[in-house]
Structures are given as structure tokens and as C-alpha cells.
Amino acid sequence: MARFFVVEFDEPGVLAKGKGSRNIIVRLTRVMGKLGVPSEVLPFAELMARGAIDDPQSYVLLHYNELFVVQNEKVDWLRARESEIEALGHRILHSVEHGRVVGHKIRQNKVLTAAGVPMPRLIETGSSFETAFSNEVSNAHVPIQLVGNAAELDPDRYNTEYVDCRHEYEGEMWHVCIRAQAVGEQVLFSWVRAGPQPNVRTRGTPLDAKLLNHFHSKLVVPNTDQIREIASAVKKAVGVGFFAHDILPCAKTGRLFLCETNYKFYEGFYRFYMKPIAKDLPNQAFFDGRKVTRRMARALVQELDLKT
């Protein structure tokens, strides 16, 4: 019988902060159980104490913050824990090797681009460019820079060709980004974020349902196939996982580019932030934790072809 475990770590520098509340993850495992796949969230030490398992469909998802693991040089530590889990007979999701890719923006760009994911062109030393989008390599929620071609780029930063995502609404220009929540290649929800600056985030997106619905209709609805293709290509490169894809809708070409992806179960802050206007937004199911976890569980069962 198939089994699914979410294994947590208490090692400093590894903790899975910002990946979704424990409540949503526990609820996911409960729904998996109702679908016929015994599932639970447990500490690494407890999983080890249970010993070996003879089940080719026993999956363990390593629950960690991939950015922290890279920043804090915990890759070898986590790789050793993964080896111990595999030695018990479990199969791994969110593996350390895939986490090294997801948690390092330059490495991610190279690996995903090679796999056919449309991403902004990586600007390396000596490359020509018109405007560069410059970000930290392994960090989140930090200031970005737009750098003109007359300036010198910092080679220690993540530098890509700037994709112009300015779209007009009622005479005003907005930088718009699409966020897609996916399990493997299955896109569960897609929504837009917008702001006056290129580093678009949830915090700062206007609580304006008309504006958000306008951009959803213009940029998300007609591009569902492109969004799905991006999710599918990411899966082929780094396996089945729970992802938040940040996607750039180019205003000049209409093409979508993956800005970056991260491991994530659920965007709880977006749900909290949008609560005042939630009833007027698309994706109503996103604001219902029960519906969210049912979608997540069904998608995971299908992605892993679990026998229930």
C-alpha cells in the first residue's frame, strides 16, 4: 500500500519557514489518508526510529527551506539525512539535489533553461545586455536592482535580461507577475500580483478587485496552456514537488517566462492579505483550506500514480 510522509527537521539553517502553515500540511496528510494513502507529518528522528519499510510506494517529502539550506551550507548535512531515509526503503520528494537547484537562482536558471523552461536570459560576465534584472542568488523578499548597460554588474548576484511586464489599467502602468501553485505539472491555482515597481510581491499588491480581475482575465485565463507547460517542464527537470512558480507576462511579446520557482505548499499570506476582497476575486477555492488540500491531495496521488 502506498504511504506518504512529510518529514520535518529541527536543524538550524534548515527549518522550513515560509513554506506553508503546519495546519495546511497536516490537513493535506489527513485528506491523503481519506483517499487511501496513509500519511502523516513527523520529525526525522521518529521516522528513523520506525526502521526499514518494505513498500516501493512509500514516499518521504523532505520539508525544508531550500534557500536556507544553500545559504547556510547545509547541503551535506541534509544529504546525509536523505541517505539515511533512503536506506530504510523510502523514496524521496524535494530531494537535496533538486533543492540545490531550486535554492540557487543561477543554478536554477541554467538547469531549467536546459530542460526547456522559458526563463529570462542569464547575463554572465562579458555578456551584452540592454537592461539587467539583478537579484540575490539565494534569498527572498530582498531589494532588486535594474541595471543599465553602461553600469557594471556584480557577478556574485543573479543577473538576467529584464523582461518588461508593465501592463496598463485605466491609464496607469503596473508591473504584473503571475504566481501559480502547482503539484508537479498540475497547476492548482494561478493569480496575479501587481505593483508600481519591478519587484512585485503580495505585500504592496493593491486591494482592488477590479484591477486584479482585469489582469487575471487578460494575463492568466488566455495563458493557462503556457502556465501548464511551464509547470510540466519544471517537473521534468526537478521532479514532482509542491511549487510556487513566479511567472513574468512579457508586455512586448505576450510570452510567459518563469522568473523563479520555489518549494511551497500554500501561499497563506496571500490568503490573509486578500481577505478583505476575497469574495470578489477569481479562484474562490483558494480561500477555502478544505478545498485547497483536497486539490493538493488528489494531484499528488495522480502525479505519483499511487495505488490506493
Domain range summary for the chain, segments of one domain joined by +? 3-102, 121-161, 166-304
CATH code 3.30.470.20 for 166-304: yes
Tell me the three cell numbers of residue 1. Answer: 500500500
Answer whether 3-102 and 166-304 agree in fold: no
Residues of the chain scoring pLDDT < 50 = none
Is 3-102 a domain of CATH 1.20.120? Answer: no
The one-character DSSP state at 152 is P
d(Cα 197, Cα 6) in Å, to the nearest integer? 37
d(CA 73, CA 76): 8
Give the integer Cα–Cα distance in Å for 50 and 47.
Answer: 5
Contacts of 288 (CB under 8 A, 6+ apart): none
Instruction: Cell 524521496: give the residue.
Output: 92
233 CB-near residues (< 8 Å, 6+ apart): 112, 115, 116, 117
Looking at residue 9, its amino acid is F
Q: What's the pLDDT at 150?
A: 59
Spatial distance between the Cα atoms of 92 and 307, rounded to a whole number of angstroms = 17
Is residue 73 classed exposed, middle or buried when 0-12, 13-18 and 19+ CB atoms within 10 A define those classes?
Answer: exposed
Q: What is the pLDDT of residue 42?
A: 97
DSSP string, 61-116: EEE--HHHHHHTT-HHHHHHHHHHHHHTT-EEES-HHHHHHHT-HHHHHHHHHHTT
Retrieve residue 62's grid coordinates: 523532505
Q: Which of 38, 39, 44, 40 is nearest to 84 (CA)?
A: 44
- The answer to whether the CB of 37 falls within 8 A of the CB of 308 is yes
In whole angstroms, how far apart are CA 30 and each of 25, 125, 296, 308?
A: 9, 50, 12, 14
